[in-house]
Amino acid sequence: MPHFEDVNADKLRGSLGVTDAESVLDLRETNRPTAEASLKEMIERSRFSRGKTVAIRLAPPPEGGGETLFQPVGRMLLEAKRKGFVDRLHPLPAGDGLGFYVALAGKPQREAE
């Protein structure tokens, strides 16, 4: 779509999902402490490299209901967004399952002198 910025063109095409991300962090088989540690490490590493997009996959709720990692992971990502480590964040489309599509800010570019 030549007349739109990439972000706006992506909105018109639909939500960005697993196939659009540069990498995938699969937390479907992990417990909460492991998931939180993995997210912290991903965010910390992103501060020292170029920005990239990541699809974070989460397990659906267990049969009969129960807790998922969606809310605690979402809170961590929102906090990272407030701090400037995440540029964009939205849930994965329904066809990709439970999770988030995240655009990490990466290392700030230095101004040319």
Would residue 11 count as lying in a domain? no
- Give this prediction's pTM: 0.80
Pair 74, 82: CB distance under 8 Å: no
Task: For 56-108, write each residue's pLDDT tens digit.
Answer: 999 998 888 888 899 999 999 999 999 999 999 999 988 888 999 999 998 87
| Total count of domains within the chain | 1
Looking up residue 75, the CATH number of its domain turns out to be 3.30.1370
Which domain does 92 fall in, by range? 25-104
Would residue 79 count as lying in a domain? yes
What count of Cα atoms within 13 Å lies in the side-chain half-sphere of residue 46? 24
Structure tokens at 107: 């290392």
